[in-house]
Structure 1
Amino acid sequence: MDTRPRRRTILCASGRQHTGIWAIDFADKFPGCEVIGTDISPIQPGWVPPNLKFEIEDCNQEWTFPSESFDYVHLRYLVGCIPDWTELFSQAYKTLKPGGWVESFEISPTAESDDGTVTYDSAMAQWGRIFVEASKKIGNSFTVVDDKVQRPALQEAGFVDIHEWEFKCPLNPWPKDPKLKEIGRFGEVFLTQDTEGFVTLAANLLGWSMEEVYVYIAKFRREVRNRKHHVYIRLRAVWARKPETKEEPTPA
């Protein structure tokens, strides 16, 4: 009989991760861990691993979980949704056991290239500007990665032992490296299959007509699918630990 304590994990905004697939994969990989996926919408699948359950929870409100009851909190793809990142991480801090870990994984809206193939007047470059302008309307930033928000907000919330990892994610299979080329294939599918879902709300906030939206989407898809465009976006994961004791120092 395994007498080790059962680990508990919260995966916030799991519905934004393709209807809970990341939470399902995590629960499958760690069957000895109790996993709770949260989102504000009940859009997750009916069948899930026995160690996973989904709950309706707004991460911008006071979290309903008991204090010091979880070992790991994972937050993913929350850009454009969070008015106060320090408060979000403070909620995670309260929920974690001493010594527990939080991880924040976010994405930049800015399409870039290192060789000038993403030009200022392209639809790819306009993509990021659309979300920046929309953020001014709703008051929630889409440029969390660009502005390096995660690390200082985690520190302000009281976390220590802060680490980060950044990755240039190709958006089509332009790289020569086989692994990056495969990632680029997924990136292209990710952006071009549901471009409307990404851009329509932001464009509506800016007063675009649906005709303007469709014209832009067609141009964007055409550019992304052109292998001459060496386009990528930045991903950043930042993870940190809750101190074991209140006396433990909190270095950056």
Structure 2
Amino acid sequence: MADIETQIAVDSDETDSAYEEDAASDTTSLKSAILSYKYRNGRRYHAYKEGAYWGPNDEAQADQLDIFHHICLLLLDGELHLAPIAPNPLHVLDVGTGTGIWAIDFADRFPSAEVLGTDLSPTQPSLVPPNLKFEVDDFTEPWLFRKDSFDLIHARSLYGCVADWSTFYREALDHLQPGGYFEQLEMSVVPKSDDESVTPGSIFEQWGRISLELGDKFGKSLRTVDESKAGIEAAGFINVVEHRWKLPIGGWAADKRFKEVGLYNRIHWEQGIEGWSLYLLTTVLKWSVEEVQVYLAKMRTALKDRRIHAYQEVSLVYGQKPPRPRTDDDN
């Protein structure tokens, strides 16, 4: 996949081809509350820490998350991570695990590892690899895991989830083993184009502007794709590396690989836009449900318009916890 500086060629063909265990979790005593999901405007949301996260936890949104996992595999050439971890990691944490699909794949691929996935919602499957477990936990609260314990901490799509990123990154640093890695993948919420087909005042331009405004008013930035590298560096990680890609929205690209990932991404957006916006638009901006549905109808029309050559940016950043200094006892 081309890097962020590369302009994606447009396909002239107008047809689409298919293509820690030291501390007991306080959540065990809250099981009934955790499972008492909240319903708003026809969508299901988490009950534990209600309102802390804007996304639904229902089947429709689970499908969106799983589609994005497939897109990430395409972007990363089938890899689950890019951080240069050891061949046989022992302890891995996936924060904000969502459907748990990344953690499941990682546990299958690395049977040496004990993998833990955490989320506000207990919606992950029960049939999982024996070296994987899921826990309900809020990663924006003080972490209860043993410090210096994980070889890899993985995070994906935490945009709009964290009010205090500096504290989050310090927690990740503290809970990695010396020499361990933290890796974060994020996507932009702002559609762009290289040929000005995303025009000022268009529904795509409105989507980006309104989304950023929603994050700011909610108190949890949706600019994470552009902010993660600086935050990880400021926390004290070393050997920080950032990869960036342009991810087409739709099958308009001439390059076969870009076309495939763009077609998947259009489905991803069609599946995700209601869940991404409904809670915040109705609670933060006080839009009516009818106003939201008109807005989303315009978005769905634009998503199918091959004259609009929109893409979003994706960033993957990893950093390493400084190794423990050598002492005379090491000789």
Deviations 1:38-67 (A, max 9, x none): 111111112111111111111101111101
Is 1:244 matched up with 2:244?
Answer: no
Is 1:10 matched up with 2:93?
Answer: yes
> Which residue, out of 192, 214, 219, partners 1:134?
214
Match of 1:80 in 2: 160
> Which residue, out of 175, 181, 194, partners 2:253?
175
Match of 1:71 in 2: 151
Distance 2:240 2:150 in 1: 18
Match of 1:250 in 2: none
Distance 1:194 1:241 in 2: 32
Alpha-carbon distance change, 36 to 117 in structure 1, aligned in 2, over 3 angstroms: same
The worse-fitting range, judged by mean Cα deviation, of 21-30 and 154-163 is 21-30
> How big is the shift at 1:144?
1.7
> What TM-score do the two structures reach when normalised by structure 1?
0.91
Give the match's secondary structure for 2:274.
helix
Structure 1: 5+ residue runs without aligned partners?
A: 248-252
Give the match's secondary structure for 1:165.
strand
**Structure number having the greater strand percentage:** 1
Conservation of the 8 A alpha-carbon contact between 1:8 and 1:69:
yes
The worse-fitting range, judged by mean Cα deviation, of 43-52 and 229-238 is 43-52
Distance 2:281 2:88 in 1: 48
Conservation of the 8 A alpha-carbon contact between 1:195 and 1:217:
yes
Conservation of the 8 A alpha-carbon contact between 1:80 and 1:142:
yes
Conservation of the 8 A alpha-carbon contact between 2:212 and 2:222:
yes
The residue type equivalent to 2:309 in the other structure is H
Deviations 1:181-215 (A, max 9, x none): 11011101111023211110121111111111111
Distance 2:276 2:173 in 1: 30
> Which residue, out of 132, 150, 158, partners 2:236?
158
Give the match's secondary structure for 2:208.
helix
Alpha-carbon distance change, 49 to 190 in structure 1, aligned in 2, over 3 angstroms: same
Conservation of the 8 A alpha-carbon contact between 1:130 and 1:202:
no
Distance 1:5 1:116 in 2: 47
Match of 1:23 in 2: 103
Match of 2:198 in 1: 118
Conservation of the 8 A alpha-carbon contact between 1:130 and 1:203:
no
> How big is the shift at 1:87?
1.0
Distance 2:182 2:245 in 1: 19
- How many aligned positions are there? 239
- The structure 1 segments of at least 4 consecutive aligned residues displaced by more than 3 Å after TM superposition are none
Distance 1:245 1:6 in 2: 18
Give the match's secondary structure for 2:152.
strand
> Which residue, out of 224, 227, 233, partners 1:144?
224
Match of 2:275 in 1: 197
> How big is the shift at 1:32?
2.0
> Which residue, out of 49, 52, 55, partners 2:135?
55
Structure 2: 5+ residue runs without aligned partners?
A: 1-86, 327-331
The residue type equivalent to 2:250 in the other structure is N
The residue type equivalent to 1:81 in the other structure is C
Give the match's secondary structure for 1:206.
coil
> How big is the shift at 1:6?
5.5
Distance 2:325 2:140 in 1: 25
Alpha-carbon distance change, 91 to 133 in structure 1, aligned in 2, over 3 angstroms: same
Conservation of the 8 A alpha-carbon contact between 2:88 and 2:113:
no
Is 1:217 matched up with 2:300?
Answer: no
Match of 1:208 in 2: 287
Conservation of the 8 A alpha-carbon contact between 2:88 and 2:110:
no
Conservation of the 8 A alpha-carbon contact between 1:172 and 1:188:
yes
